[in-house]
Amino acid sequence: MKKKVAKFKKEIVCVLAIMITYIITSIGVAPYNNAARAIAYNYGDRGNIVLEIQRRLKAWGYYDGDLDAIYGYRTYTGVRSFQAKHGLAVDGIAGDRTLNALGINAGQYAANQASTTNNSNPGKYTTNNQDVMLLARAINGEARGEPYEGQVAVGAVILNRTRDSRFPSTIAGVVYQPGAFTAVVDGQIHANMEQNSINAARDALNGWDPSGGAVYYFNPATSTNKWIWSRPLIKVIGKHRFCR
């Protein structure tokens, strides 16, 4: 009888030890599990990274909904369309590979959430965003003094180029492509920044394209490039002609 009691006590001790180990392990590992899950965004998720997903999808023509930071049906279908176009698994989930293809560093955006968005208006970005600032500098150097619509149109041309296989696929690549923009050549890209240029960059990134899909523009009064006149004209805004 004593042996049975002793054996039973040993079994109880073993069970308790296993339970305690499981609880301690779960507590220790849980934060890492949460971190792993945080890099995949799916239907119903909200927040700064969802907003950035929407912004990039909208800029590239995969999303036509509001920039509301809510991963709804339109965001889901936009992600699926983007995935299909870029050879990714078409599941509507913005995981590591999809975020990388979109050019989004989820860890960076999560860490800087407070500084990269204005909480009272989730569609409004602060000047800490590198894409906004580089695009704003290009607009500022190229179209300072032009009508606001024309400034946004210049930003839209840069974004349109990132989606055209004839040009680099990033904003930085397009802006700094050798000889592409006078403002880079003559240093005007470093001129004192005007608030209108920042606003125009935000509007262009949020999907407004007054250029009508143009990938070229020029000022006929100052241009010395004869070839540019051969490009089909879309519209004239201010001093600039916007062309295909």
Dig out the tokens for 135 from the structure.
């695009």
Strands 216-218 and 121-125, bridge-based pairing: unpaired
Q: Does CATH place domain 48-122 in 1.10.101.10?
A: yes
- The topology (CATH level 3) of 130-243 is Arc Repressor Mutant, subunit A (1.10.10)
Give me the mean pLDDT over the 85-107 stretch.
86
pTM, whole model, 2 decimals?
A: 0.50
3-state secondary structure of 104: coil
What torsion do the CA atoms of 89, 161, 139, 241 make, to the nearest 10 degrees?
-140
**pLDDT at residue number 35:** 39
- For CA atoms 8, 10, 12, 14, the dihedral sign is negative
**What are the structural domain ranges in the chain?**
48-122, 130-243
Q: Tell me: the pLDDT tens digits for 52-81?
A: 899 899 988 999 988 888 888 899 999 999
Q: Where are the beta strands (DSSP E) in the chain?
A: 117-118, 121-125, 216-218, 233-237, 240-243
Q: Are the C-beta atoms of 141 and 191 separated by less than 8 Å?
A: yes
Residue owning tokens 């880079």: 184
Cα 93 from Cα 87, distance rounded (Å): 14
Q: What is the pLDDT of residues 185-213, one digit of tens each?
A: 999 999 999 999 999 999 999 889 999 99
Query: What whole-number distance in Å separates Cα of residue 90 and Cα of residue 140?
Result: 39
Residues 209 and 212: their CA atoms lie apart, in Å, by 6
pLDDT in the model for residue 162: 93
